[in-house]
């Protein structure tokens, strides 16, 4: 019998409590490739949930680099959020609003959007990105409390925030939802998380059809394994050390490698795209 090669160790042993902090990761994720922007989002007003760290941070910074002002909705990771805001304000000279809110509650979603709109006056781009995951070996290990929390943050919040934002959008605006490769191939250890990500795909395609006549585009991004605080606060150290090594590219992606997908979908470059998903996932073919 042919010997199976063990997964390649990529990262050192580490773990964090949820929701994880980017500045404590080793190595820290890459969030900016330092290339110049080209004003693809000049003077746009954007919202990014979970924009304090991980993919959200990279997207927020990429938007600012392209000339946009950004409002970041995050839970409580103030150090990460302030760091992201500093880059947006000082390095790229754009406005950044920070809103700390638990978006698992509808009233908090509504309040956050009202606060942002008072400052921005209108919204051009919404990125629904915030998410949680709680690995469990069996479906019988998933308590109802966890199930409700995962769905409330990962998919219910998208309904609540989108409903609140639509009042402040106009023709030409764009909504971008973050799904996952798990929506297409499933995940035996993340059943509830993968289920929400599948729901996001259907939500995105349905909302795109619903808003097409209003000229508002709705698309999504379905990343593969990406090196973010969500990972080091979700899995044990053994899984973390080899995280992403199972992809065809034999490594996880960096947030900065995912952010261009969002820039593209938010810009006029994608004006003939709606109801679609982009798949920065290291080469996995998922036919979605």
* Residue 6, pLDDT above cutoff 90: no
Domains, the chain, in order of start with CATH, read 39-278 (3.40.50.720)
Q: Tell which phi-psi region holds residue 148, choosing left (phi > 0), alpha (psi between -120 and 50) or beta.
A: alpha
92 catalytic residue (yes or no) = no
Which of 184, 193, 243, 262 is flagged as catalytic? 193
**Sorting pLDDT into bands at 50, 70 and 90, what band is 1?**
very low
pLDDT, tens digit, 9 for 90 and up, residues 80-89: 999 999 999 9
pLDDT, tens digit, 9 for 90 and up, residues 203-249: 999 999 999 999 999 999 999 999 999 999 989 888 899 999 999 99
Taking the whole predicted model, whether its pTM rises above 0.75 is answered as: yes
* Residue 5, pLDDT above cutoff 50: no
Mean pLDDT is lowest, of 16-20, 139-143, 194-198, 265-269, for 16-20
Residue 255: Cβ within 10 Å count: 24
| The predicted structure's pLDDT at residue 236 | 87
Exposure letters 187-222 (e unless 16+ CB within 10 A, then b): bebbbbbbbbbbbbbebbbebbeebeeeebbbbbbb
* Residue 10, pLDDT above cutoff 70: yes
Task: Tell me the CA end-to-end span of the chain in Å, nearest whole number.
Answer: 35
**Sorting pLDDT into bands at 50, 70 and 90, what band is 178?**
very high
């Amino acid at each position: 019998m042919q010997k199976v090669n063990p997964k390649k160790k990529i990262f050192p042993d580490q773990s964090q409590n949820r929701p994880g902090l980017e500045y404590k990761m080793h190595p820290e994720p890459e969030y900016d490739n330092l290339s110049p922007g080209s004003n693809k989002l000049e003077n746009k007003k954007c919202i990014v949930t979970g924009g304090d760290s991980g993919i959200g941070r990279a997207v927020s910074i990429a938007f600012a680099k392209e000339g946009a002002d950004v409002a970041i909705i995050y839970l409580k990771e103030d150090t990460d959020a302030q760091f992201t805001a500093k880059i947006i304000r000082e390095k790229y000279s754009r406005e950044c609003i920070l809103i700390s809110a638990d978006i698992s509650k509808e009233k908090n979603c509504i309040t956050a959007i009202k606060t942002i709109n008072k400052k921005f006056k209108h919204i051009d781009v919404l990125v629904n990105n915030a998410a949680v995951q709680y690995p469990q070996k069996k479906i019988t290990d998933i308590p109802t409390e966890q199930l409700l929390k995962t769905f409330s943050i990962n998919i219910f919040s998208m309904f609540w925030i989108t409903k609140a934002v639509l009042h402040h959008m106009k023709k030409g605006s764009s909504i971008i939802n973050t799904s996952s490769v798990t929506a297409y191939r499933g995940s035996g250890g993340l059943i509830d998380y993968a289920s929400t990500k599948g729901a996001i795909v259907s939500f995105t395609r349905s909302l795109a059809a619903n808003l097409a006549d209003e000229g508002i585009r709705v698309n999504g991004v379905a990343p593969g394994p990406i090196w973010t605080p969500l990972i080091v606060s979700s899995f044990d150290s053994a899984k973390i050390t080899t995280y992403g090594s199972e992809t065809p590219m034999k490594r996880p992606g960096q947030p900065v490698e995912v952010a261009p997908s969002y820039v593209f979908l938010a810009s006029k470059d994608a004006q003939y795209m709606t109801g679609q998903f982009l798949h920065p996932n290291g080469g996995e073919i998922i036919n979605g």
